Amino acid sequence: MNWIQQKWFLLVLSTFSTLFLWGQSPERPKKEIPLVTDVIASIDKAQGWMLQNNGEWIDEQNKIPFKDYAQNKRKGGKYNLGKENFDNIIVRSITVNNTVYSILIIYSQGGKYEFPVLEEN
């Protein structure tokens, strides 16, 4: 190699090494992973009560019945689910950035219809 080629080689090498170092991303602070606790509280059995339009109280296990007497007497489709229902309600805590939050998780049943189109609205 002659003298000019050596200078070009060193110039290209130093340029690429400088660009390579500038191209490195700065070290980022590590984010804390949110800490989720085990189940703190759980409800899996409850009685839901509703005063019906015929003046009588009705109760059902893990669901709030409809106010309309006729709807509660119908069985099948969405009428089996009541106005509100649940299988299990659990409470957990989560810590994010040194702040504690409570989480309420409700597991409920959705529609189980043989012909869903007929049960909608």
Count of domains forming the chain:
1
User: Does 112 map to a domain?
Assistant: yes
Please report where in the chains the tokens 């509660």 appear, as a residue.
72
The pLDDT tens digits for 59-89 are 888 888 888 878 877 776 667 777 788 889 9
Give the model's pLDDT for residue 35: 84
Read off the pLDDT band of 42 (50, 70, 90).
very high
This prediction's pTM: 0.55
Rounded to whole angstroms, the Cα distance separating 31 from 66 reads: 47
Give the model's pLDDT for residue 55: 87
User: Does 91 map to a domain?
Assistant: yes
Provide the token pair at 2.
């002659």
Provide the token pair at 94.
């989560």
Q: How far is CA 35 from CA 31, 32, 86, 96, 103, in A?
A: 12, 9, 26, 7, 12
Q: Cα dihedral sign for 8, 12, 17, 19? A: positive
Which of the two residues, 41 and 6, has the higher pLDDT score? 41
Q: Cα dihedral sign for 88, 89, 92, 94? A: positive
User: Does 52 map to a domain?
Assistant: yes
User: Does 92 map to a domain?
Assistant: yes
User: Does 10 map to a domain?
Assistant: no
Rounded to whole angstroms, the Cα distance separating 56 from 68 reads: 11
Domain that holds residue 112: 31-119
SS3 call for 69: helix
